Every structure is written in C-alpha cells, then in structure tokens.
Structure 1
Amino acid sequence: MNAVLRTVNRTLVGLIGLLLAALGGSVLAIGLGVRPPSWWIHDGRHDVLLSDAERTRWRDAGWWWPTVLAALALLVLLALWWLVAVLRRRRLAEVLVDTGDGEGALLRGRALEDVLAADTAGQEGVAHTRLMLTGRRTAPRARVWLRLEPDVDPGTVLHDLTAQALTHARESAGLAKLPAEVRLREVKHKAERVT
C-alpha cells in the first residue's frame, strides 16, 4: 500500500508540476512578446484569461453555479486528502531509548531498522528482507516482510527472527517489548528445461 501511495504521489506531483511549468512558462513567454499559436488560450500580451462574454455566458443557466461549486468542493476535498496522505508519517522517525537516568535518549528509527534488517538478512533461509518501524516513539512496532528460499520451514525462520533479531533490537534499545507483524513469501524459482 505504501509503495502504491508513494508511486501515485510522485506521479501526481510530477504531472501537476509539468502542467504548472508549461502554463506558467507560456504566460511568461507571451508576456515577453512571443507570438502564441492560433489555438492557444491567449491571443497576446494584453489578453485576459476570461473575457466578459465568457464569464457571463452561463449566468442565467440554473445548473451552472451549483456544478462549478460542486466541482471546486470536490477538488478541494481531493487536495486535502492528498495532503493528509502525504504528511502522515507511516515510518517511525525516532525511538525513545531508556538510559536509566530518567531522561532517555533518542535513537533514529532508520538506524534501528537497518540493524534489524541486517540481522534478519543474515538468517538462514531468508532471501530478502524489508522492514519498517511504526507506532509511537515510546512503543514502536516492527513490520517485517521476508522472502524465503524454497523448502525453508517458515516456523524456524519466525523462531529465529523472534529469538535473535527482534530480541537483540529490543534489548539494545532498552524496550520492554517490540511487537512485530511478519509477512512471509517464498521465492519462486523457475525450473530449467532440459532438452
């Protein structure tokens, strides 16, 4: 889901940026005296975006203003949804480590993720690992995606993950607990055709 949202976000930002750059560049070029093509929305440097006739053309139609207002409201709601989705942090930025002095210290979430991923990738039977810390900085949670080699016992991999990597990370960060959601997939190898 995060990858899809990230892809949609980058695509939308790129398209909107290209559209705004093209429109802004054309307005600037026409304002500097470049002659626009005949099909363009502006005729010259003293032209306005909407003439009086265009602005008052649909004034008497009863459906026009409710449609315009509904479309603008929908556009604002979509923009707000997009902004909330972009600003909401899914990944934990820092973890509060208990140092025993009552104050604690902050550990970067990415550093703990990297250590956990390295420990997990070193396990027997794990082909690929991806990891993300979520939750609050006082109560982090791990989300782990493991791709397993064929013919590996998933129970053994899960046991090794909890007994080694997660326990090591929990103890080194001074956490009382480190709950984890683990998703397993098996690597599919294509059989070679022997002729």
Structure 2
Amino acid sequence: MHRGGVNRVLTGFVGLLLLALGGSVLAVGLGAPPPHPWLHTGPHDVLLSTPERTRWRGADWWWPTVIGALTLLVLFALWWLTALVRRHRLTEVLVDTGDGEGALLDGKALESVLAAEAARQRGVNSTDVLLTGRRTAPAARARLRLEPDVDPWTALTDFTAQSLVHARESAGLTSLPAEVRLGAVKHRAERVT
C-alpha cells in the first residue's frame, strides 16, 4: 500500500475512533444509559474528580510534561494535516523564453507528452508520469510497465536518453531529475487449444 493509502486508512481509523468516543460521551451526557465498561456512571458524573485533578499538583515536572506532550501532539496533527492537504502534483512549469521574461507551461501537458513519448518506446506497455518539485525546478516521477521480454536496463536507458531529454529540451529546463519505477505488465493466462 502506498503512502496516500496509508494516510487515508489511518485518518479514517482515527476519525471513526474519535467519532465513536465523542458520540458516546455526548449520549451519556444527554442521559442515555452508559455502556457496560464505561468510566462514568451518568450525565452528572465529572470527567476528572477533584483527587484526580489535584494528584500531581505538587510535582514540579507534571504540568510542563503535560503541556509539552500536548504541544507535540498538536504540532504532529498539524504537520499531518498539511501533508495530506498539500498538493504533490506540479501544476505549472516556468519556462525561460530567452527574452528575460518567462512563460508558464501547463504541468499536465508536460506530463502527458512525456508519458506518451515513453509509451511509444519498444516494450513499454503503459506509463504514468507525475511532475513534482517547484515550478522553477521540476522533477518527474515515472512508472513504466514493461512487457515481459524487455530488458529493464534498455527501457530505462531509452527513457532517460530520449523521452526525458526531449521533455527537458522542449521546456528549456537546465535539468529534469527523474525517479523511474519499472514494473512488469501482468497478463491473464489464456487457454491454448
């Protein structure tokens, strides 16, 4: 499972857990009978009793530890949220036109041209290309699905020497680093009669 799938599953699990916990606290607070292994007995019961709240009041380390742990938890949650929301796809690339000005090239257009040229290579069944990075310094992530009889080294060399070079030169970029993943096409077995 890739990182996006793990993030979605983990986010969904944490969300369902918090929803169930918050819903049951709300239901008990509104007068519903508490579930069997519940910590509190009814709507007038407090979350923390006076002895529970004042137990560590005399310890100098208690409150800084609690505040520090909660701060780390909030910072981790904010980092996770921004990582989920942040766009990973580059939408436009800044192209140097040579006259001191620049032009913006649509990122999806460059992705599709790079993918189409890579798919025309010998032995490449299909491709997926994603542009990442900054618009002044883009990078490519490519996944090539190869036919079973193709040498992976040849396919990688053809991709970097032809498709990637053409994309870099046509966009006027000084460099276009790429992460290339190679995979084999899975064919269904067919009955031969």
The alignment's TM-score, normalised by the length of structure 1, stands at 0.70
Given candidates 127, 131, 134, the residue that maps to 1:133 is: 131
In 1, the alpha carbon distance for the partners of 2:163 and 2:151 equals: 17
Task: Please give the secondary structure, in 2, of the residue aligned with 1:120.
Answer: helix
Task: Note the 1:146-185 alignment, pairs <5 A.
Answer: 146-162=144-160, 164-185=162-183
In 2, the alpha carbon distance for the partners of 1:193 and 1:84 equals: 50
Per the TM alignment, residue 13 of structure 1 is displaced from its structure 2 partner at its CA by 1.2
Partner of 1:120: 118
In 2, the alpha carbon distance for the partners of 1:66 and 1:193 equals: 70
In structure 2, what residue type is equivalent to 1:94?
E
In 1, the alpha carbon distance for the partners of 2:27 and 2:109 equals: 48
Change (3 A) 1:98 1:70: closer
Change (3 A) 1:47 1:112: farther
1:12-32 CA-to-partner distances (Å, cap 9, x unmatched) read 211221122112222332333
1:9 aligns with 2:12: no
In structure 2, what residue type is equivalent to 1:151?
D
In 2, the alpha carbon distance for the partners of 1:177 and 1:193 equals: 48
- Give the stretch that moved more between structures: 55-64 or 134-143: 55-64
Given candidates 75, 79, 82, the residue that maps to 2:80 is: 82
- Give the stretch that moved more between structures: 20-29 or 69-78: 69-78
Q: What is the total number of aligned residue pairs between the two structures?
A: 192
Task: Please give the secondary structure, in 2, of the residue aligned with 1:134.
Answer: strand
Partner of 2:106: 108
The alignment's TM-score, normalised by the length of structure 2, stands at 0.71
Change (3 A) 1:182 1:4: closer
Per the TM alignment, residue 126 of structure 1 is displaced from its structure 2 partner at its CA by 0.8
Task: Please give the secondary structure, in 1, of the residue aligned with 2:129.
Answer: strand
Partner of 1:36: 34
In 2, the alpha carbon distance for the partners of 1:16 and 1:58 equals: 29
Per the TM alignment, residue 5 of structure 1 is displaced from its structure 2 partner at its CA by 2.5
Q: Which runs of 5+ in 2 are unaligned?
A: none
Change (3 A) 1:64 1:98: closer
Change (3 A) 1:181 1:21: closer
Per the TM alignment, residue 187 of structure 1 is displaced from its structure 2 partner at its CA by 4.5
1:123-146 CA-to-partner distances (Å, cap 9, x unmatched) read 220123232223321121222222
Task: Note the 1:52-63 alignment, pairs <5 A.
Answer: 52-57=50-55
1:18-66 CA-to-partner distances (Å, cap 9, x unmatched) read 1221122223323333232343234333322111132234557899768
* CA RMSD across the alignment: 3.8
